[in-house]
Amino acid sequence: MPSREEIVERCVQAFQNEDWDLLEWLWDPAGEIVGPEPWPESGTFSGWPAMLAQLKRLKDSWAEDRIEIIEHSRSGERLCTRFRWSVRGEASGLESEAELWMVSEFSGDRLFRARYFSNAEAARAALEEDAT
């Protein structure tokens, strides 16, 4: 069974390569993605069709994007991944960079929930909270 870190790293690589088939295989079909609150695309996207549509929307905005994983930390079964997302706008050509945190939960060897945060404190709190 792959480690939690390996699962997340494979998901990141599949997203960067737009390998939607691999992503579908890595995710639990009933999983969910929760976008960071201050972003226009915040909210909860549940089930593979909704998650896939959201992931494709994110890719459509950028001519180029790159994700660099900075570090992982764990608490029980949860994993927090800190990463840097560098993008260049499709229409504008403007470049931007954001540091984000993803708190992941798993169902067996598949990703079940990914919650994104734009600050370390909120991510740490989510990593440590009691499982629901």
C-alpha 4/C-alpha 114 separation (Å) is: 12
pTM for the complete prediction?
0.91
- pLDDT tens profile 16-63: 999 999 999 999 999 999 998 877 677 999 999 999 999 999 888 889
User: What is the β-pairing status of strands 43-46 and 95-107?
Assistant: unpaired
How far CA 55 is from CA of 1, 48, 51, 84, 115, in Å, comes to: 26, 10, 6, 17, 13
Query: What tens digit of pLDDT does each residue of 4-14 get?
Result: 999 999 999 99
Read off the pLDDT of residues 81-125 as tens digits, 9 standing for 90 and up: 999 999 998 888 899 999 999 999 999 999 999 999 999 999 999
